Chain A
Amino acid sequence: EAAVTQSPRNKVAVTGGKVTLSCNQTNNHNNMYWYRQDTGHGLRLIHYSYGAGSTEKGDIPDGYKASRPSQENFSLILELATPSQTSVYFCASCGGYEQYFGPGTRLTVL
């Protein structure tokens, strides 16, 4: 069964600290995406990837880096976390007409 998993599911970080959010998909999809969702808003695209080794900037990439070391894994990296990055983060994989989302990671930066 197609699946996208995220880890951790919840994270509390300190301002200035480094945070890595991980995403794994077993769908063999080429495209993967990282979104954030804030209260009262839809999902906004941070970074995406067309395959292993590729990363592209989305609409709100500032303060975030991405890494796609393999087909299955796509990470979102906050080198210097700030309170404004407190949000819920969703990962997704897409291939053909399929779109699958992970369960989300709730990040709080204090």
Chain B
Amino acid sequence: QQKVQQSPESLTVSEGAMASLNCTFSDGTSNNFRWYRQHSAKGLEVLVSIFSDGEKEEGRFTAHLNRANLHVSLHIREPQPSDSAVYLCAVSVNSNNRIFFGDGTQLVVKP
């Protein structure tokens, strides 16, 4: 069964500094990856979806996927205090299969 692990568990950065979050997965045939942001146990806000190796940018959020290394990352450029939230990595083998989540990274952005 797919295992998805996120690191670090928590991260504190200063406003304006780059924030980098990591996610590793165990099934190398995975081809559907998303990063979600969740404020205080509220709904899930999709930030970036990526389906092939390389980079995908959505505003200040950039995902990097390297399936050979079983690794997908999220980089947040110029983070703001409003970006303080839990970030969840979601992985599936294809778009119609089960979605597996990591336990999340708690990001705190200090003014």
Contacts and interface: CB of A to CB of B under 8 A. Distances in A.
Interface of A: 30-31, 33, 35, 37, 39-45, 48, 58-59, 88, 90, 92, 94-99, 101-104
22 contacts: A39-B41, A40-B104, A41-B103, A41-B104, A42-B4, A42-B6, A42-B101, A42-B104, A43-B101, A45-B98, A45-B99, A48-B98, A58-B98, A94-B96, A95-B96, A96-B95, A96-B96, A98-B95, A99-B34, A101-B43, A102-B43, A103-B43
B49 interface: yes
A104 B101 contact: no
Interface of B: 1, 4, 6, 32, 34, 41-44, 46, 49, 51, 88, 90, 95-96, 98-99, 101-104
A104 B101 CA distance: 16
Judged by DSSP, the binding face of A is strand
B78 to A, nearest CB: 26
Nearest to A58: B98
Main secondary structure on chain B at its contact with chain A?
loop
Given A41-B103, A42-B88, A97-B32, A31 B43 contact: no
A95 B98 CA distance: 11
B95 A95 contact: yes
B95 A43 contact: no
Most buried by A among B41, B44, B95: B44
B49 A33 contact: no
Contact of B51 (A42, A45, A94, A97): A97
A21 B4 CA distance: 27
A54 to B, nearest CB: 13
B88 A43 contact: yes
A49 B49 CA distance: 23
Contacts of B32: 97
Most central of A35, A40, A42 by chain B CB within 10 Å: A42
Contacts of A102: 43
A98 B104 CA distance: 21
B35 to A, nearest CB: 12
